[in-house]
């Protein structure tokens, strides 16, 4: 049987070992309604009424009005929305989704910060430039429509209970080890001020009323994780022989039809994968016989996905692009005749 050397190059080294499909760990985000409470600035009055009899006559006496003004409580919560994001070395622009919620009882404005240098993980993601975006198109990931966050330029302004979706975008460094974790953290801080819970900030509230720092201290942070997932590939090759006499003997003149299936078997991505297979010695390539998933590819170098590369030893080349598990089985076929 004429088997040739074949190889598949990808951004990540192809391996034949089957990896466990890495389950997405959905970070449980509690669906508690963040009831921020009575609006800042609300005035609450209270008056008691006493009814009594005196000298046989019924009387009513009101008290004074005891009044108090509800101050603004400064509170914010940052919640991670993304599960662990599976990444490969050198990948760029991978995003993590967060929600920033004003859990205070007044209008809030918040400044945002990214930190990808956290300890407790295996590698530091590399913040893109810029790194923080509004998820403007609500797609849940980094897409062309997302507006860049500009510190002190377009800080999110949130009413009590209101929230906004933000994206952190990081690139991945080279030479990452499979199963490594990299963390990236989003911090939101109230521009009205921060401090110890219960601390009063004079004049810092809506309309100049005093503000009180809430339990959050006026700041909140949450981190997401990138998980390095080495791509797992399954590559299988078979050959069918058809001899000139209607049989299957590999005689001179017999046609060999090679079928190669390529499949990503786990959560990784085989980036820019290219299948190449030199035509074996003592055989001649059958012109125009390369196909990908049933579609014929021309022999010349043009816009389609494959060709016969004749710059050196004749080699079948088929470009498969970025492959993931979702792309399913890619089937390549080509034919040679035995010299």
Q: Which is nearer to other proteins, 145 or 208 (CB)?
A: 208
Pairwise CA distance, residues 129 & 170, whole Å: 9
- Do the beta carbons of residue 297 and residue 307 sit within 8 Å? yes
CB of 36 to other proteins, least distance (A): 7
CB of 69 to other proteins, least distance (A): 8
Q: What is the DSSP string of 112-165?
A: EEEE---SSSSB--EEEEEEEEE-TT--SS--TTPPBP-TTTS--EE-TT-EEE
Pairwise CA distance, residues 56 & 315, whole Å: 117
CB of 200 to other proteins, least distance (A): 5
CB of 40 to other proteins, least distance (A): 8
Q: Which is nearer to other proteins, 74 or 260 (CB)?
A: 74
Q: Which is nearer to other proteins, 127 or 197 (CB)?
A: 197
| Interacting residues with other proteins (CB under 8 A) | 36-38, 41-55, 59, 61-73, 105, 200, 207-210, 212, 214
Q: Which is nearer to other proteins, 68 or 329 (CB)?
A: 68
Q: Which is nearer to other proteins, 56 or 300 (CB)?
A: 56
CB of 77 to other proteins, least distance (A): 15
10 Å Cβ neighbour count for 235? Answer: 15
Q: What is the DSSP string of 175-205?
A: SPPTT-EEEEEEEEEETT---STT-EETT-S
């Amino acid at each position: 049987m004429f088997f040739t050397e074949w190889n598949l190059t990808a951004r990540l080294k192809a391996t034949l070992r089957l990896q466990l499909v890495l389950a997405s760990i959905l970070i449980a985000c509690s669906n508690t309604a963040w009831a921020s409470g009575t609006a800042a600035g609300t005035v609450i009055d209270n008056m008691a009424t006493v009814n009594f009899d005196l000298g046989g006559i019924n009387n009513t006496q009101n008290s004074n009005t005891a009044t108090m003004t509800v101050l603004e409580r400064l509170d914010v919560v940052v919640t991670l929305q993304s599960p662990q994001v599976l990444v490969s070395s050198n990948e760029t622009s991978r995003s993590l989704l967060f929600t920033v919620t004003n859990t205070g009882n007044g209008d809030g404005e918040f400044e945002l910060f990214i930190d990808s240098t956290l300890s407790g993980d295996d590698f530091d993601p590399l913040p893109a430039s810029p790194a923080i975006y509004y998820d403007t198109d609500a797609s849940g990931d980094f897409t062309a429509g997302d507006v860049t966050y500009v510190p002190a330029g377009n800080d999110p302004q949130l009413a009590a209970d209101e929230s906004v979706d933000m994206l952190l975008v990081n690139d991945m460094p080279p030479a990452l080890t499979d199963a490594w974790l990299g963390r990236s953290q989003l911090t939101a801080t109230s521009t009205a001020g921060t401090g110890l819970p219960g601390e009063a900030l004079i004049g810092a509230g809506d309309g100049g009323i005093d503000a009180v720092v809430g339990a959050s201290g006026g700041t909140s942070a949450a981190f997401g994780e990138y998980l390095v997932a080495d791509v797992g590939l399954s590559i299988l090759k078979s050959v069918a022989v058809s001899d000139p006499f209607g049989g299957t003997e590999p005689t001179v003149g017999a046609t060999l039809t090679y079928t190669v299936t390529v499949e990503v078997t786990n959560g990784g991505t085989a980036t820019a994968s290219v299948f190449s297979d030199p035509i074996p010695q003592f055989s001649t390539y059958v012109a125009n016989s390369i196909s990908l998933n049933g579609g014929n590819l021309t022999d010349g170098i043009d816009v389609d996905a494959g060709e016969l590369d004749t710059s050196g030893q004749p080699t079948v080349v088929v470009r498969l692009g970025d492959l993931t598990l979702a792309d399913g089985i890619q089937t390549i076929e080509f034919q040679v005749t035995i010299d």
